[in-house]
Amino acid sequence: MREATIRDALREALREEMRRDNTVFLLGEDIGRYWGGAFGVTKGLAEEFGDERVRDTPISENAVIGVGVGAAITGMRPVAEIMFGDLTALAIDQICNQAAKVRYMFGGQASAPLVIRTPFGAGVNIASHHSQSLEAWFMHTPGLHVAVPSTPYDAKGLLKTAIRGSNPVLFVEHKLLYPVKGLVPDEDYTVPFGVADVKREGKDVTIVATLYMVHKALAAAEQLSKEGVSAEVVDPRTLSPLDRKAIVKSVRKTGRIVIVSEDCKTAGVSAEIASVVAEEALDYLDAPIKRVAEPDTPIPFSPPLEKFVIPDEKSIIKAVKELIH
């Protein structure tokens, strides 16, 4: 094991998979020699693999994903980068109507092993077109997988699983997480889809969180422990497939749940997880389900406004205390 940032872990996954399999190639805006991706994830890869396999594209998001679909159904394993998650809106037809449906609509004749990497999330004051968390759109699309890593270990292992799999994957990166460090094995490994990870064990309350919110939940749990409350932090790691059993198992143990998500509250990630608990674990609950999520606004620009709408340690601690006392 050694320490690496999520940015480095993602790059290692891409590099190792490209070395292992000639059909893996990258495409996206400014991912090549000059920028190496807007967040630097693909830096150095064009130098190693050439411009054919690390392919800069014009600003044509819908066509970039469409090209990925066409390449994926003809034997390639494209990894497309959409520079900001908000811009997936430009490619929603190719993601949701084409990539996700190729297998089903054509009766299982084909599949589209296409990975779409994109950063979601707020926190760097770039306002409504560069800060959203849109995971729920893609969880709502049968045929797609949605990966939401929170640590370097998970990021590398999940990205490898995504590239090696046969299904299209919306691979979410959180822009505040790129520099976050963690331990990554030296040897080859993968992290399976649909298997949650308990990031911290506890017995009084379950906190389910993804992406950057895992770190906020862990900080909240640490603070709560000093006040005698033992919180368990469950990170689903993929939202589709969703590890319902792990969530139910934790609720069964703690009897309380706070769901933390950076996306909008209405019909969002937290709503889906709450419905899982309501359907499958209601009898284990000692208190109502609590959700801490974005209050159904676009993401504002000015720092105090943005800070106000994004869940943080304080809002998580407050929600937990409302359940316990």
Partner 1 sequence: MVIMVENAKLLEMYRQMLTIRFFEEKVFELYGQNLVPGTIHLYAGEEAVAVGVCANLRRDDYITSTHRGHGHCIAKGARLDKTMAEILGRKTGYCKGKGGSMHIADFSIGMFGATAVVGAGIPIAVGAGLSIKLRGTDQVVACFFGEGASNQGTFHEGINLAAVWGLPVVFVCENNLYAMGTRQSRVMIIENIADRAVAYGIPGVVVDGNDVLAVHDAARVAVDRARRGEGPTLIECKTYRLKGHSRFDPAAYRPKEEVESWLKKDAIGRFQMKLFELGVLSEVEVQKMVQDVKNAVDEATKFALESSFPEPQEALEDVYAAEEISTSK
Q: Annotated catalytic sites, by residue?
A: 130
| Region binding partner 1 by CB under 8 A among candidate stretches 13-21, 106-114, 124-132, 212-220 | 106-114
- Does position 166 interact with partner 1 (CB under 8 A)? The reply is yes
Sheet strands side by side (includes 205-209): 197-200, 231-235, 205-209, 257-264, 290-294
Phi and psi, residue 214, nearest 5°: -60, -40
**DSSP tag of 84:** S
Q: How far is the CB of 231 from partner 1 (least distance, A)?
A: 23
Tell me whether residue 222 or residue 279 sits nearer to partner 1 (CB atom). Answer: 279
Q: How far is the CB of 263 from partner 1 (least distance, A)?
A: 20
| Binder of partner 1 out of 109, 187, 226, 325 (CB under 8 A) | 109
Total number of residues that touch partner 1 (CB under 8 A): 55
Nearest to 171 by CA among 190, 189, 156, 153: 156
Binding mask 199-238 for partner 1 (x = CB under 8 A): ----------------------------------------
E strand intervals along the chain: 2-5, 24-28, 54-56, 77-81, 115-120, 145-147, 169-174, 181-184, 197-200, 205-209, 231-235, 238-240, 257-264, 290-294
CA–CA separation, 191 and 86 (whole Å):
26
- Does position 143 interact with partner 1 (CB under 8 A)? The reply is yes
CA–CA separation, 12 and 4 (whole Å):
10
Are the C-beta atoms of residues 192 and 159 closer than 8 Å to each other? no
- Does position 34 interact with partner 1 (CB under 8 A)? The reply is no
Binding mask 231-270 for partner 1 (x = CB under 8 A): ---------xxxxxxx------------------------
Nearest to 67 by CA among 91, 87, 50, 51: 91
Tell me whether residue 52 or residue 186 sits nearer to partner 1 (CB atom). Answer: 52
| Binder of partner 1 out of 44, 106, 124, 314 (CB under 8 A) | 106
- Does position 189 interact with partner 1 (CB under 8 A)? The reply is no
The three-class DSSP label of residue 270 is helix
| Binder of partner 1 out of 32, 66, 121, 268 (CB under 8 A) | 66
